Amino acid sequence: MKKTSLLLFIFLFYICLYGQTVSYKTTWIGNSFGGGEKWVQDFLEGMFVSPDGTVYTASVWDEAGREFGFYKNGDVVGYCKETHGWGTLGGYAITANSKYIFIAHLQGNEGGHLQGKEYPPKGMIWAGISRYNKDGTLAPFPNGGGRFGAMLILHTLPEPARAEDLENAQVHGLAADEKRLYVSDQFANTIKVYDVEKMELLRQWKVEGPRQLALDKQGTIWLIQKVGKIYRITRFTTDGKQLPQLISFPPAVLPTALCIDNAKGRLLVTDNGESQQILIYGDLEKQPKLIGKFGEKGGIYGGKNPGVVGPLRFAGLKGVGVDDRGNIYIGCSLPSCGTVIRAFSSQGKLLWELLGLEFVHTADADPATDAQDLYTPTKHYKMDWNKTKPGSEWRWFALTINPFRYPHDPRLDNLEAPLIRYIKGRKYLIVRGMYEHALLIYRFDGEIAVPSVIFSREHWKSELWKNVPQPGKGRWIWRDKNGDGEFQADEFYDADGVEEPEFWAWWVDEEGGVWYGLQDGKIYYFPLLGIDQYGNPIYSREKALEFQMPPPLNHLLRIEYHPQNDVMFLSGYTEENPKRGGEWGIVGTEILRFDDWMKGNRQARWRAKLIYEPEETFIKAFCTAGDYLFAVECRSAKVHIYSLKTGEKIGEMSPGPEVASESGWVDFPDAIRAYKRKDGEYLVSVEEDWKNKVIVYRWRPARNE
């Protein structure tokens, strides 16, 4: 065989075996870094800044294991190793001296599956402090506990069942000098002092509600206390004597962090209440006085343009620090999810910013701007598609959620899947969740998305909604009849007590029609009945239509309907290609196209058989745009491309070197969105929860594709 023939044979064999390739580029939105060794973590719950300007951060969870990350000069410089998996969770506090890093965190045993002295007993959890070297490696000590002999176990507790119990079990305040570690143990209402080398208890004293703490150059402790529902700051000597300095806060102030600016003799306190500012106190040796504030009043929620991003418009304040040059560092954990770290000069000029904004989300394009605007469930991005450097195309423009004005917005429980729809000329954000328990429609008030309509298949048990007067049982529809974005009892309707079974098919079409389908094959369609005076779409179960799943489907999992050409796409299992594994919420084994659906046609134009290896390789989500259908695998984020005309597969796209050729699992049923721009380029957005971003494939089909 000739060499050229052999090469052609190998190429064709590769194509048949692994699928066709297409020419595309990978980019991303929502994180300052593309992946590999560099990414900004999912959340930020605590922060410490060293004199040289290194920012140490703490969080309960980061999908890729950076619960405790280190940043400097706008770059990633490290993280604490072994804080993820094997029952280990992150925490709310971190501090350091010149030799060690100390983190507060939890160690569980994953339901009793982990045995040995390295883990707590079944049903229990350890709350404690672990010691690390400055390079992020563990620093064990004599009699140290946990998996690596580097954990100081403070308490053995019943494993918390609720998030607030998990928070209450943890240490929220740490501080250290060269000899002593100071621990704010709120579970025991005690301040504890340890030797940093031996990690032995030196002394302790009782304090009500101890939270975050900081050391000043005089060697005294400034402590945030929560007494009942009121916060205050008190000052102590390091042997427990209370000093006369006291700051009492009104109920509207929510202090979440503090630090000492030793050069200027100031105390800085984050107010995560409605002001969203840094409170600055002077006269620390007398009676501290409020002498200034840093940041715009109301933060990102205030001013003339609520939601619009600005350097001094903070949201979710959780950390503050000052280095030995007087630079100020601010850490925020955004509502729902997202990490923001900003560094400012002593004069208040922004020096650098790091962002990690999109954990378990995807993005949808605004068709009115030809994808110059992208939306995730809580963020709005401005895009410049003329830029060619991967990751440079996006600019975070706005936060679309306001927890102060709309405190029961379900997005505060982190819903994942967005759609942008124009209904009767108005722009709406549609959101669905990982378990498809509801479909939510939001209208826009400027940049803020306001709860407008909700379809729910069940009574909500969310802690966020414990005081919302929803129906006590079964499915319901809610509409914001008085326009306040809140939830009153008379706004819930069509509540017939029916508990819908689990299903995975929700859709809102381009004319505002709402669709959902049960796995047994019943398909419901709620036509748009109008728009009320507040801009809320109107629906009624009485006016809903019911259809039956057509053969050869025998198990329905997805719906996508387009009224402009009366085309329906359905997916699920068939007798020829049945379910053979234990997967949940996947697309199934086939996607079928039906033309003239509303005219009654039930003969599929084509059937596309999907890749399916039980428990290993399967399709988690699909969508259509332009001339193609895009279907994404769960475990690899590989996108399979099909022709809408024929159902024939024409190629594949996988995460490219621009994102270190990696991705986390695709976790939710609507994790892919696609848009065809006017110039013919396709943008395909896919969830990437591993490194806290959204992957965007940029693909311009060749003529023969």
pLDDT digits (tens, 9 = 90+) for 671-695: 999 999 999 999 999 999 999 999 9
CB atoms within 10 A of CB 659: 26
With beta carbons less than 8 A apart as the criterion, state whether 485 and 539 touch: no
Distance CA 566, CA 549 (A): 16
Q: Which residue has the higher pLDDT, 20 or 609?
A: 609
pLDDT attached to residue 124: 92
What torsion do the CA atoms of 680, 386, 373, 672 make, to the nearest 10 degrees?
Answer: 60
- pLDDT given for residue 3 in this prediction: 43
Confidence of residue 115 (pLDDT cuts 50, 70, 90): confident
Tell me the average pLDDT across 202-230: 96
Q: How confident is the model at residue 169 (pLDDT cuts 50, 70, 90)?
A: confident
Write out the two tokens for 214.
């900081």
301: Cβ–Cβ under 8 A, 6 or more apart, which residues?
Answer: 274, 276, 307, 315, 402, 404, 405
pLDDT at 7: 39
Name the pLDDT band for 9 (thresholds 50, 70, 90).
very low
Q: How far, in Å, CA of 389 to CA of 386, rounded? A: 9
pLDDT band at 705 (very low <50, low <70, confident <90, very high): low
Residue 20: band (very low, low, confident or very high) from pLDDT cuts 50, 70, 90: low
Structure tokens at 625: 């745009």
In this structure, the number of other CB atoms found within 10 A of the CB of residue 531 comes to 17
Instruction: Read off the pLDDT of each residue in 81-95 and give the average, rounded to a whole number.
Output: 96
Q: Which amino acid is at 631?
A: A
- pLDDT score of 108 more than 70: yes
State the pLDDT confidence band at 554, using cuts at 50, 70 and 90.
very high
Contact between 80 and 61 (Cβ < 8 Å): no
Secondary structure (DSSP) of 443-477: EEETTEEEEEEEEESS----GGGTTS---SSS-EE
Using an 8 Å Cβ cutoff, are 30 and 356 in contact?
yes
- Record the tokens describing residue 365, joined without a space: 């394009």
**Token representation of residue 674:** 């696609």
Radius of gyration of the chain (CA): 27
Q: What is the mean pLDDT of residues 319-340?
A: 97
Question: What is residue 11's predicted lDDT score, i.e. its pLDDT?
Answer: 38
For position 250, what pLDDT does the model report? 96
The pLDDT > 90 percentage for the chain reads 92
Q: Which strands make up the sheet holding 339-344, listed edge to edge?
A: 317-322, 328-333, 339-344, 350-356
CA dist., res. 87 & res. 101, Å (int): 21
Cβ-in-10-Å burial (0-12, 13-18, 19+) of 511 comes to middle
Work out the pLDDT band at 311, boundaries 50, 70, 90.
very high
Q: How confident is the model at residue 8 (pLDDT cuts 50, 70, 90)?
A: very low
Strands (E), 196-338: 201-206, 210-215, 220-227, 230-237, 242-248, 255-261, 266-271, 277-282, 289-294, 317-322, 328-333
Write the DSSP assignment of 145-187 as a string of letters: BTTTT-EEEEEEEEPPSSHHHHHHTS--EEEE-SSEEEEEETT
Return mean pLDDT, the chain: 95
Give me the percent of the chain exceeding a pLDDT of 70.
96
Q: What pLDDT sits at residue 259?
A: 98
pLDDT at 6 over 60: no
Evaluate if residue 166 carries a pLDDT over 90.
no
How is the beta sheet containing 682-688 ordered, strand by strand?
Answer: 24-29, 693-699, 682-688, 672-676
**What mean pLDDT do residues 604-630 have?**
97
pLDDT computed for residue 609 by the predictor: 98
Burial class (CB in 10 A: 0-12, 13-18, 19+), 692: buried
Task: List, for residues 253-292, the tens digit of each pLDDT value.
Answer: 999 999 999 989 999 999 999 999 999 999 999 999 999 9
Band of the pLDDT at 703, cuts 50, 70, 90?
Answer: confident
**pLDDT exceeds 90 at position 162:** no
pLDDT confidence bin for 657, thresholds 50/70/90 = very high
Q: What is the pLDDT of residues 615-626, one digit of tens each?
A: 999 999 999 999
Residue type present at position 548: Q
Chain position carrying tokens 């969203």 = 276
Say whether pLDDT at 15 is over 50: no
Structure tokens at 160: 């918390």
**pLDDT bracket for residue 161 (50, 70, 90):** low
Average pLDDT estimate for 453-465: 95
Reported pTM:
0.95
Instruction: Report the b/e string of 256-273 with b at 16+ CB within 10 A.
Output: bbbbbbeeeebbbbbbbb
Q: How far apart are CA 216 and CA 245, in angstroms?
A: 13
